[in-house]
Amino acid sequence: MRLQDQLVFNLRSLSRQRFRTVMQLIAMAIGAFSVVLLTGLGEGGRQFVMAEFSVLGKDILIVLPGRKETSGAMPPLTGGVRDITLQDAQAISRLRNVAGIAPLVVGKVELSYSGRQRESLIIGTNERFFSIRHLTLQQGQGLPDVAIDQARAVCILGAKLKTELFAAAPALGQWLKMAGQRCRVIGILANSGTGLGFDMDHALIIPVASSMQLFDSHGLFRLMIEVRALTDMAKLPQQIEQVMQQRHDGELDVTVITPASLLAAFDDILAVITLAVAAIGGISLFVAGVLIMNMTLISVSQRTAEIGLLKALGASNKQVRGLFVSEVLILCLVGSLSGIFVAQILLWFARQQFNGLLFIAPWWASLLALLVALTCGIVFSWLPAKRAANLLPVAALR
Amino acid sequence: MTHSRLNTQARPTIKASPMIQVNKVNKTFKLGDQAVHGLKNIQLTILAGEYLSVMGPSGSGKSTLLNMLGLLDVPDNGEYWLQGHDNICLDTVVMDEELRAQYRRDHIGFVFQSYHLIPRLTAAENMELPMVLAGIPPIQRKARLAPIIQRLGLAERAGHLPNQLSGGQRQRVAIGRALVMRPKLLLADEPTGNLDTHAGREVIDLLEELNADGITLIVVTHDMQLGQRAKRKIRMIDGEIVLDQLPSDEPL
């Protein structure tokens, strides 16, 4: 039998049982749809998290106080941790491979300006922080380039914080009150969104020494280190640990992390989640396959007379089997393709709706959905097709 | 696919012989736990171009005989030699099912009591079906079909679905379908059973015309009048051939 003739024969038979065909198509489409849509959403989530973390460049190291010991407790929780002081930071900045450092002190303080009050995130750091976090200013200037242990009564406002405190009025040169101290606004950040959990639009940035006075602390929350050359990335953590160990009387009580390793760990976890979600979609494809098998079994028993006739007219067992298998394959192909198509359209809408979130189903998701659908088709049509083929023509004709 | 392969597992013993040679064929059915003899020790020789009727009461095995002759059913034992391509005879009992299907397609035409047309296909498409299964290209199919449609007087009805046709027209479509592969053997199982006298008469005339053109015609019926028209009459009772009346036996 020629392929075109077989196709026409299948399509005739499918369009004859329109309701059943549509039902099977929908089942198959839902299966493929969920595989593609779920992986697309998973992938979008992954991209989002990765983007959050990639705010930090590849050439950045982070030193945090404390060390994860075999007890398994997280660094900040282990007692008796010694602070990373500004002197420690200066010592590290003298290392040959270090291009620059940005100390980080974080806290919350009540701000006020002419009667308006806001509790705000305070970030104490230095001018290097701006380049590391790729922050840009819409007005004024950044933090003054002074030694890090020098306090200055200046601050830089996040874009939204500025609007909340000053509305449309000019903010540059104005004095803010914060917990009994005063600081002059010397710069305003451009819109910069969130990154690493800090909402920079609502933050107030002040010199690190000022923030330590404000919070009355001697320790840094984090120390960010910019590497001179990426090739030094491998050995630098060790050098930093050595310096810190010397300065802390032989005890190693800091942790050095590279964003790259952090990123890789997250990437692995999120990829597994995406796969798991795809597998859930795969189950619905499988269910659709079982449904099609049952429908086809019913169809075989309803069409015994036709099968007997085809055999009487000279169709071989192989031909009869082929007719039923290809009928199911058409269903699977058309169903899954339309499911994939609809899912892609929905993902496209999701991308338009949530700007910046990359809801893109990876190419392998669509391919996987299609392959699983076709495999299901072959596997699940085999039993009914074989049953049809093995009918004795005389028994089928009665 | 269009050409039969003759060297299969069937014993390629070749005989120069009549079209059909049936030797000691038996077929039993299980009805509950009782074995019923469908065919009992059948011995039958049929020459090319003959016109036979098979008659007998219900359950006498006449349909079983026809199904066996049409390779729709396989006997339990015995031999059934059937002429195929180039007038070569093969024992169909030991053939594999694929070759038997090919034999049915290329050498045997069937006409059933209830037509067995596919309802979603038009009259022309139903007639075309054996050629489609045989993998014949559309152009050749149309060329072969046109004269047959003409001859059956179905030109105006060719595009109609079976449920838009009368019983007589449907049976003519079925006959057209049986003819498109140009078989040498035409088997008809109660071809007029569902038709009124007039339509039945037309169908019989058509079948007899085809026989006159050379096709071997075997008609199973319990209509005495119809059965008597055949030149050779076989009577069956309880799976046995009890009477085989050749044309020469007929009283003058």
* Average pLDDT of span A278-305: 84
Residues 9-48 of A with CB under 8 A from B: 9, 12-13, 15-16
Please name which of B41, B80, B60, B67 lies closest in space to residue B235, comparing C-alpha atoms: B60
Where does the pLDDT of residue A40 fall: very low under 50, low under 70, confident under 90, or very high at 90 and above? confident
Q: What's the confidence (pLDDT) of residue B14?
A: 44
Residues of chain B with Cβ-Cβ distance to A306 below 8 Å are 118
pLDDT at B121 over 90: yes
Predicted TM-score (pTM) above 0.80: no
User: In chain A, which residues have their Cβ closer than 8 Å to the Cβ of B1?
Assistant: 1
CA distance B136 to B139: 8
What pLDDT score does B11 carry? 45
Q: Write out pLDDT tens, residues B213-244.
A: 999 999 999 889 899 999 999 999 999 999 99
pLDDT range class, residue A271, cuts 50, 70, 90: confident
Cα B151 from Cα A389, distance rounded (Å): 35
Amino acid at A295: M
> If you average pLDDT over every residue of chain A, what do you get?
85
User: Does residue A57 carry a pLDDT above 70?
Assistant: no
Question: Alpha-carbon distance A62 to A258, whole Å?
Answer: 6
Highest mean pLDDT pick, A80-89, A379-388, B11-20, B135-144: B135-144
Under an 8 A CB cutoff, do A313 and B73 touch?
A: no
pLDDT at B8: 43
Q: Collapse the DSSP code of A214 into the 3-class scheme (helix H, G, I; strand E, B; otherwise coil) and give the result.
A: helix
Classify A372 as helix, strand or coil. helix
From chain A, pick out residues whose CB is under 8 angstroms from the CB of B104. Answer: 311-314, 393
The confidence score (pLDDT) of residue B44 equals: 94
Is B131 a residue whose pLDDT tops 90?
yes
Contacts of B98 in chain A (CB under 8 A): 316-318
Query: Does the structure show a pLDDT above 70 at A61?
Result: yes
What is residue A297's predicted lDDT score, i.e. its pLDDT?
86
Query: In this complex, which of B1, B120, B130 lies closest to A313 when CB atoms are compared?
Result: B130
Which of helix, strand or coil describes residue B14? coil
CA–CA separation, A37 vs B54, rounded Å?
Answer: 66
Q: Return the residue of B nearest to A11 by Cα.
A: B120
- Whether B164 shows a pLDDT value over 90: the answer reads yes
pLDDT at A77 over 50: no
Lowest mean pLDDT among A140-149, A265-274, B216-225: A265-274
Is the pLDDT score of B5 beyond 60? no
* Residue in B97, B135, B177 closest to A317 by CB: B97
Mean pLDDT for the stretch of residues B169-176: 96
The whole-number pLDDT of residue A232 equals 78
Indicate whether B6 pLDDT > 60: no
Average pLDDT, stretch A48-65?
77
**Under 8 Å between Cβ of A240 and A255:** no
ipTM here: 0.87
Pairing of strands B34-46, B216-220: unpaired
Which chain B residue's Cα is nearest to A308? B72
State the count of interchain CB pairs (< 8 A) between A and B: 72
Q: What is the pLDDT of residue B191?
A: 94
Q: What distance in Å separates residue B114's CA from the closest CA in chain A?
A: 10
Cβ of B72 within 8 Å of Cβ of A312? The answer is yes
* pLDDT at position A16 over 60: yes
- Å between B249 CA and nearest CA of chain A: 34
CB A136 within 8 A of CB A111: no
Worst-scoring range by mean pLDDT, A91-105, A227-241, B184-198? A227-241
The 10s digit of each residue's pLDDT in B12-55 is 444 445 899 999 999 998 877 888 888 999 999 999 999 999 99
Taking the C-alpha atoms of residue A237 and residue A225, their distance in angstroms, rounded to an integer, is 10
Three-state DSSP state, B124: helix
Residue A140 has phi, psi (to 5 degrees) of 75, -150
Tell if the CB–CB gap between B129 and A312 is shorter than 8 Å: no
Distance CA B28, CA B33 (A): 12
> What percent of chain A is modeled with pLDDT above 90?
19
The pLDDT assigned to B42 comes to 94
Count of residues in chain A: 398
B112: distance to nearest CA of chain A, Å? Answer: 9
Please state, rounded to an integer, the average pLDDT across all residues of chain B.
88
pLDDT of residue A54: 67
**A314, A392, A393 member nearest B130 (Cβ):** A314
Contact A317 B98 (CB under 8 A): yes
Mean pLDDT of A215-242: 86
Q: What is the pLDDT of residue A237?
A: 87
Nearest by CB to residue B101, choosing from A316, A394, A397, is A316
**Any idea what DSSP says for residue A232?**
G
> How far apart are alpha carbons A312 and B19 in whole angstroms?
20
Dihedral sign, Cα of residue A222, residue A223, residue A224, residue A230: negative
On the question of pLDDT at A398 being above 90, the answer is: no
Rounded to an integer, the average pLDDT of A104-133 is 88
